[in-house]
């Protein structure tokens, strides 16, 4: 008589995590939409961050500042022209039909600045970045196109929010970010 020696023959225990079919479809869609904006339109060039942060703030709250520039991000070709041809081994980018100065600005490019000095734990920084992306995704249709940077300007009180990623901290950040976005939308040219 042969005895099964591998665990493949044994039945698997039930998972404690809810399956995709039991989760609400709204939860998954909201997460995907917030991530899509962050992934497809993310500021990556240091020169873009510098230019946007040098612009006057569009809105500010006790913990966050929102900066905006109504222009496109720097292209790879513009960055390469400052580095020199011998520094890079990439192929040239295709030419645009219009010069960058004349092409219309469409879309939102979002940059996040959440420094370690204001949010020491990675869990807190991740929570704040997710809340920022969700707030921008909610106001994206009302905001003008261009480069946007949300910067954490002061830390949340550790005495008030003891846990690094508490529900209270998330709600407080979301409330403050919705006020920040409402102020930015109100100051936007129509």
Cα first-last separation, the chain:
81
Q: Say which residue, 76 or 139, is predicted with more confidence.
A: 139
CATH ID of 31-83+104-186, from 2.60.40.3880, 3.40.50.1820, 3.30.230.10, 3.30.56.10: 3.30.230.10
- pLDDT tens digits, residue range 78-114? 555 555 555 555 656 555 555 555 566 678 999 999 9
Give the model's pLDDT for residue 32. Answer: 44
Whole-angstrom Cα distance, residue 22 to residue 29? 14
As a whole-number percent, the residues of the chain with pLDDT over 70 amount to 63
Residues ≥6 apart with Cβ < 8 Å to 185: 139, 142, 143
Give the model's pLDDT for residue 113. Answer: 97
Mean pLDDT of 112-134: 95
Give the model's pLDDT for residue 31. Answer: 47
> Per-domain residue ranges for the chain?
31-83+104-186
**Measured between alpha carbons, how far is residue 98 from residues 104, 132, 144 in Å?**
9, 33, 21
Give the model's pLDDT for residue 30. Answer: 46
Residues ≥6 apart with Cβ < 8 Å to 124: 156, 164, 165, 169
Report the range out of 8-12, 101-105, 132-136 with the highest average pLDDT: 132-136
Rg (alpha carbons) of the chain, rounded to whole number: 22
Instruction: Give the residue among 49, 57, 50, 72 at the shortest CA–CA distance from 187.
Output: 57
pLDDT band at 18 (very low <50, low <70, confident <90, very high): low
Give the model's pLDDT for residue 38. Answer: 36
């Amino acid at each position: 008589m042969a005895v099964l020696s591998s665990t493949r023959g044994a039945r698997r225990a039930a998972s404690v995590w809810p399956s995709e079919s039991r989760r609400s479809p709204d939860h998954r869609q909201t997460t995907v939409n917030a991530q899509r904006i962050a992934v497809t339109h993310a500021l990556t060039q240091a020169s873009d961050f510098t230019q946007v942060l040098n612009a006057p703030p569009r809105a500010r709250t006790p913990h966050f500042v929102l900066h905006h520039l109504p222009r496109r991000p720097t292209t790879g070709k513009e960055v390469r022209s400052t580095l020199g041809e011998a520094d890079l081994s990439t192929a040239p980018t295709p030419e645009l039909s219009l010069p960058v100065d004349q092409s219309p600005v469409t879309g939102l490019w979002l940059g996040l600045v959440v420094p370690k000095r204001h949010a020491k734990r990675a869990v807190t920084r991740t929570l704040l970045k997710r809340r920022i992306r969700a707030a921008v995704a909610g106001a994206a249709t009302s905001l003008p196109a261009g480069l946007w940077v949300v910067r954490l300007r002061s830390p949340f009180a550790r005495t008030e929010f003891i846990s690094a990623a508490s529900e209270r901290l998330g709600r407080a950040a979301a409330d403050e970010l919705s006020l920040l976005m409402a102020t930015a939308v109100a100051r936007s040219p129509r």
